[in-house]
Amino acid sequence: MFGRSAGTRARFAALLICVNACAFGQTVGVLTVAEGGAVLVRGATTYTAAPGVALHTGDMLASDPKGQIQIEFEDGAILNLARGARALLLGPQGGDPGVALQSGWVKFARTKAAKGKPYRYVMPLARLSTAGATGTLRVGADSSEIFIESGTARVDELSRAGSSGAGRDLKGGEFAVRTAAQALAVSPRPAADFVKAMPGYFRDDLPVFLPRVRSKATEPVREHDATYAEVEPWLKASAPIRRPLVERFRQRAKDPQFRTRLVENLAAHPEWDPVLFPEKHEKEKERERVEQEAEKAPKAAKDQ
């Protein structure tokens, strides 16, 4: 509908997602476009990245509000992030690669025949799984909009906590909307406001730049230790996304500014409580131990 498809029909599957810390550091793709600059958080450090930078599982990327980022993968998958889109590259879970998306506009495609593993796009309220579809996503904190340009895909509702709900299959031309106040709804064509608002170049096929930058082997440029603001969307994401990040950013909690923001937003990520207030949890553990010992004492006396 908006250009020729690069994908093919393939089977699909929906999986529970989790950022696998053991998979961090594996190279999964290459940054091939960085208009307006690309902010990369790797480990607990912030970098600027240019075309040619190899990207790893666990990398967090943010595009410029007026620019675009494109990631190309060896399996032919292409991901274009526009208008401040944020992405977290997930390690294979159950064998399938994927990316978590938190905001902005995203276009995805596959340039090679997709005979194997689906690719999963995890949004705050929905998860899309496809092996070869081409489509566009508009992602927000309270809504996920999905247009399948061509091919087939599977979309499943996600709760705020990240658990799976109802789902259905999508085919080329269909448009799905999931909001915080509305269950998944599918229509035969994209909404007019969606088409009007999306980046103009999304109407065309995504170009392939990987052959041009493959030999550059560009290294990202270190800027500073990651700030709370730079990773806040992920620390406040659904539990399967955010919980593994506690160990990753634990050392940053020693920074006064980072710690202050963690405390201020503790309700959004309660798993940080033991890190921020270990003495409280030690007292709770000691109280539980004493209570357990007290419960055992009468039984031991009776047995004697």
For 147-201, the DSSP string reads: EEEESEEEEEEE-TT--EEEEEEEETT-EEEEETTEEEEEESS--HHHHHHS-GG
Least confident of 56-70, 157-171, 216-230, 277-291: 277-291
Q: Could you report the per-residue pLDDT of 250-259, keeping only the tens digit for each?
A: 999 999 999 9
Instruction: Say how far apart CA 9 and CA 138 lie, in whole Å.
Output: 23
Q: Which two tokens stand for residue 206?
A: 């995504």
- What are the boundaries of each domain within the chain? 21-213, 228-304
Task: Give the list of residues 6+ apart from residue 214 with CB closer than 8 angstroms, or none.
Answer: 30
Averaged pLDDT score across all residues of the chain = 86
Give Cα separations from 209 to 5, 70, 71, 117, 159 (angstroms): 17, 9, 9, 23, 36
- Count of alpha carbons within 13 angstroms of residue 258, beta-carbon side: 19
Q: Which residue has the tokens 């194997």?
A: 116
Taking the CA atoms of residue 134, residue 104, residue 28 and residue 110 in that order, the dihedral angle to the nearest 10 degrees is 10
Residue 70 has pLDDT above 90, yes or no: yes
Confidence check: pLDDT of 243 > 70:
yes
CA distances from residue 164 to 15, 123, 156, 236, 240 in whole angstroms, order as listed: 9, 12, 7, 18, 12
Band of residue 21 on the pLDDT scale cut at 50, 70, 90: very low
Q: What is the pLDDT of residue 95?
A: 57
Buried b (16+ CB within 10 A) or exposed e, 12-48: bebbebbbeeebbeeebbbbbbbeeebbbbbbbebbe
Q: Please tell me whether the overall predicted TM-score, pTM, comes out greater than 0.85 for this model.
A: no
Token couple for 154: 């599977």
Contact indicator for 208, 70 with CB cutoff of 8 Å: no
Evaluate the CA torsion angle 45, 51, 57, 62 in order and state its sign.
positive
Task: Please return the burial class of 224, using the count of CB atoms within 10 Å of its CB with bins 0-12, 13-18 and 19+.
Answer: exposed
Alpha-carbon dihedral of residues 49, 54, 57, 62, nearest 10 degrees? 20
Proportion of the chain above pLDDT 90, given as a percent: 69
Nearest to 81 by CA among 40, 47, 116: 40
CATH architecture of 21-213: Sandwich (2.60)
Q: How far is residue 304's CA from residue 299's CA, in Å, rounded to a whole number?
A: 9
Apex CA 55: angle with CA 176 and CA 75, to 5°?
Answer: 60
Query: When comparing pLDDT for 19 and 234, which is higher?
Result: 234
